[in-house]
Amino acid sequence: MVSPSRIRQLVWILGAAALLAIVGWDFAVATTFLGDDYIFRAFAHLEANPLLAFMADKHGGEYYRPLPMLLWWVIERLSGGQAWVFALASFLLHLLCAVLLAALGRALGLARRSALLAGALFFAAPAEREAALWFSANTDLLAVAAILGSVVAFLSGTRWGRWLSVCLAAVAYFSKETALVLPVLLFAGLWFRARLQGGAPSLPRGLIAIIPHSALAAIYLAARFLVLGGLGGTNDPTAPWWACGVQLASGLVHAVTAYAPLPEWLAWAAGVSLLATVTIVAWRRSALAGFALVWVAVTLLPLPAAGWVVGARYFYLPAAGLFLLAALALEAASGLAAGFAVAFLLCLGLLAGNHRAGEVRLYRQAVATADAAVSDGLLRGYRLFFVRGGVKDLDLALKLLPHRPKPQVGFVVIADVPASFVWLPHDLAGRLHFLLARPPLPLTGAYRFGGERIVGQARREEAPDLDEVLTRLPELRIIHLSRTASGFAWEDRTEAYRRLQ
């Protein structure tokens, strides 16, 4: 006879294996290089020394995140730019964050099952997976892993734990600015754990304990100011206060549901219902619900500085508090109910992952078709291309393809997606200046990597019309991408557009 304990162990092992496999499927088929990923890749290709990101402005005057840039440089150089290596690194970082969230639950006093449930819910949630699937969101994942690790080490109460906590705080700060809320989270952890244990929280003792973390935050801010030559930030338009509120609410709602392919009304209805129910039940069951709510509130505070808070990556850190809250609400529930909660998120994730996998296939086909068109033009001696029906940052995407030799970067691909980034050859800079964003993207006018310039095209409302572009660039080749039953096809429509002038 197999003992009940052995059966439970087997169920745990099979459940963990299924969780890893199902979530891992997303990272295997539903991601690729996108958008800002190409900025990091350009840095990795063009800079000989990644440590320069700590000492010089390689961030375009906007942000100061040297540790993620160092990580990109290492992975890019070791992998040869293979997307699957970045996917594996993102998967492992996401898994690490889930494990550390479970460890945080234990450090706060949660039962083992509840702590593991918090980590499993976070790991399975579709929105958090979506954030991790965007490779350049490793800024967020690194910061969150370091923040969670810092809080866990801090709450251990040991001397080595406090020193480890300070070291991890440095990792968090130099990964993303939002990590500056860490001292408040540390103080809240001490305060609520003392209350749970029946002690009297000591304000002076708590403030003294976080002095090293606060001092390190000040050092980070000073380094940021010196390297960026100011406060940094973007010159993009900012959302009004009411829009910021809607965006924050939307991020919390989607953090417990999914961004796609659910209809927006359904995501909101399900998300609001889940958040309200979980908050009420958790608040009635445990004093630690207060800590989870403080975590969410504190980690939301820096987000409006981004202007428009859209995208799952912004809510990756607040989601840790949300799923601690969910685990507290399910603390007295049966194992079947807890398993159903994880399975529900996994099923939502499968729907979202299947949707993303289709988009990734189309994206790769579009890039491959544009590459074929541009390669054909290069063989004919052309250097300037305008691609209609393309993707954002197409110029960088094509120049950083593994088969593209570096000497061929003397061409330029203008995408029909506004605010795309272009690796601008020095001899064409003057002629193409009218195509660039005003005010500039990034803030300093260009990312400068290894003597090369990466610049942003004009935003939608300021982009010149095609007639002006053709007049100024008579040798421009106009390529049109169109969807077919099997993917994409390309057509050179230069002469057709010339006849319409």
**30 Cβ contact partners less than 8 Å away, ≥ 6 residues apart:** 133, 353, 354, 356, 357, 360
- Amino acid, single-letter form, for residue 232: G
Q: Specify whether the CB–CB gap between 175 and 142 falls below 8 A.
A: yes
The answer to whether residue 405 scores a pLDDT higher than 70 is no
Beta bridge partners of 287: none
pLDDT in tens, 88-143: 999 999 999 999 999 999 999 899 999 999 999 999 999 999 999 999 999 999 99
Q: Whole-angstrom Cα distance, residue 432 to residue 427?
A: 10
Whether residue 261 is preceded by a cis peptide bond, meaning omega within 30 degrees of 0, is: yes
Of the candidates 426, 326, 385, 348, the residue with the CA atom closest to the CA atom of residue 105: 326
**CA proximity to 299, closest of 237, 251, 235, 357:** 251
Distance CA 359, CA 344 (A): 23
Please check whether residue 42 is in contact with residue 423, taking contact to mean a CB–CB distance below 8 angstroms: yes
Q: Is 258 helix (H, G, I), strand (E, B) or coil?
A: coil
- The predicted model scores a pTM of 0.94
Q: What is the distance between the alpha carbons of residues 137 and 134, in angstroms, rounded to a whole number? A: 6
CA distance 198 to 351: 45
Instruction: Quickly state the pLDDT bin for 195 (edges 50, 70, 90).
Output: confident
Q: How far is CA 261 from CA 207, 257, 280, 300, in A?
A: 45, 11, 28, 25
Contact 205, 413 (CB under 8 A): no
Residues 419-445 have pLDDT tens digits of 999 999 999 999 999 999 988 999 999
Strand bridging mode 452-456 / 412-415: unpaired
Q: What is the CA radius of gyration of the chain?
A: 25
Residues 6 or more apart whose CB falls under 8 angstroms from that of 270 comprise: 257, 262
* pLDDT above 70 (res 501): no
Once rounded to an integer, what is the mean pLDDT over residues 217-240?
A: 88
Predicted pLDDT of residue 468:
87
Any idea what DSSP says for residue 457? B
Three-class SS of 108-138: HCCCHHHHHHHHHHHHHCHHHHHHHHCHHHH
Tell me which of 310-314, 392-396, 490-494 is least confident: 310-314
- Compute the distance between CA of residue 205 and CA of residue 58 in angstroms, rounded to an integer: 40
pLDDT at 407 over 50: no
Residue-level pLDDT at 200: 63
Angle at 276 between CA 272 and CA 279, to 5 degrees: 140
